[in-house]
């Protein structure tokens, strides 16, 4: 990731320079920051990112800080009137130590334990992109969107375009930055509600279930020696389908055929599918489905999935799954 790094500006004549930080890791020190100059961060890891704007000044076109494919531990607002644009980047902590008036937009992933460490006399306008696709990745157009504030009042309505996209804005201040909004999504005969807060990850989607399966703590592929212990665990984030009935499936392909994990009989060799459970989706932190050191040599693929039509049948068009490859040699 960091084989080559660069820090450069693009000053010409009397122009304010644009600073570019690429393929870099900054893990100590105070801030990576700019003052009234554009700052672009690409494929980098930063302990802190900030923009020293000029609060009360007219914004300049250069008052923009952007981050692409980057991991940022802490995002600082310091007398800033800048715009922050993110794409495929992660943030852990947001800090507003001094008065600021800034804008955040783009695709951001906030970790589940992300938090605001300080907020003082600050306004942050956050522009939330929405992207709605079905289970096959096809855009959902003309979906109706309704945004309600923390008191349940309607504050915005919109519709997705032909690409399934839309966007809305929330202005956060000292009084509401800890509040929760609700986005209601209506399409076909479905109604889905998503909570929205300052530190919500974007783009906002339908929140489909996200199964996860790991072998020896890894997403794989992994290779182990025969006789080495193999522990396989599954987890589930139900998304906005929490409480919805579904069929749950755990399976494995092996040199000896197809196996299904059951609650009553353990692993069963069967070509027809056998579900492990039928019932509501819920937040499953971790559940061990295999722990053995006795598997023969060969290639194995283990699967964990849920389908949203609870009927004891394996409905591929309703299935959401994850898999992990294991080679034993």
Q: What is the pLDDT of residues 9-24, one digit of tens each?
A: 444 444 455 678 888 8
- The predicted-structure confidence for 49-100, as pLDDT tens digits, reads as follows 876 655 555 655 556 788 889 999 999 887 667 788 999 899 999 988 878 8
Please tell me the predicted confidence (pLDDT) of residue 231.
Answer: 96
Q: Is the pLDDT of residue 175 over 70?
A: yes
Q: Identify the CA nearest to 209 among candidates 174, 175, 234.
A: 234
| DSSP three-state, residue 316 | helix
Cα–Cα distances in Å, from 292 out to 119, 148, 270?
50, 50, 20
Whole-prediction pTM: 0.66
| Rounded-to-integer distance, Cα 106 and Cα 101, Å | 17
Please tell me the predicted confidence (pLDDT) of residue 14.
Answer: 44
| DSSP three-state, residue 2 | coil
Mean pLDDT is highest, among 72-86, 230-244, 290-304, 315-329, for 290-304
Q: Which helix (H) or strand (E) holds 157?
A: strand 154-159
Enumerate residues 6+ apart whose C-beta is below 8 A from 306.
Answer: 209, 211, 236, 246, 247, 248, 249, 281, 319, 320, 321
pLDDT interval class at 251 (50, 70, 90): very high
* Ranges of H-type helices in 114-167: none
Q: Is the pLDDT of residue 135 over 80?
A: no
Domains of the chain, with CATH numbers? 1-120 (no CATH), 126-206 (2.60.40.1120), 210-328 (2.60.40.3880)
């Amino acid at each position: 990731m960091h084989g080559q790094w660069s820090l450069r500006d693009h000053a010409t004549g009397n122009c304010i320079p644009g600073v570019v930080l690429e393929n870099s890791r900054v893990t100590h020190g105070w801030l990576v920051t700019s003052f009234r100059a554009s700052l672009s961060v690409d494929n980098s890891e930063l302990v802190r990112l900030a923009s020293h704007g000029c609060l009360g000044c007219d914004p300049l076109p250069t008052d923009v800080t952007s981050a692409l494919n980057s991991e940022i531990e802490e995002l600082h607002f310091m007398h800033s009137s800048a715009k922050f644009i993110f794409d495929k980047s992660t943030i852990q902590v947001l800090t507003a130590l001094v008065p600021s008036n800034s804008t955040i937009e783009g695709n951001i992933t906030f970790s589940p334990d992300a938090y605001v460490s300080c907020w003082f006399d600050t306004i942050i306008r956050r522009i939330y992109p929405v992207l709605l696709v079905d289970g096959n990745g096809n855009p959902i157009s003309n979906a109706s969107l309704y945004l309600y504030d923390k008191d349940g009042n309607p504050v915005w309505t919109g519709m997705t375009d032909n690409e399934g996209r839309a966007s809305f804005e929330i202005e956060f201040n000292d009084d509401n930055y800890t509040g929760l909004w609700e986005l209601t999504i209506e399409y076909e005969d479905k109604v889905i509600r998503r909570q929205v807060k300052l530190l919500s990850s974007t783009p906002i989607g339908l929140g489909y279930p996200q199964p996860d399966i790991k072998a020896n703590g890894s997403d794989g592929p992994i290779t182990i020696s025969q006789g080495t212990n193999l522990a396989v665990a599954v987890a589930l984030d139900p998304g906005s389908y929490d409480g919805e009935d579904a069929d749950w499936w755990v399976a494995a392909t092996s040199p000896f055929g197809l196996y299904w994990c059951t609650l009553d009989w353990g692993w069963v060799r069967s070509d027809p599918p056998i579900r492990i459970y039928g019932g509501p989706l819920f937040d499953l932190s971790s559940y061990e489905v295999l722990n053995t050191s006795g598997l023969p040599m060969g290639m194995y693929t283990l699967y964990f999935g849920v389908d949203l039509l609870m009927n004891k049948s394996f409905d591929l068009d309703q299935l959401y799954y994850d898999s992990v490859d294991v080679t034993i040699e």
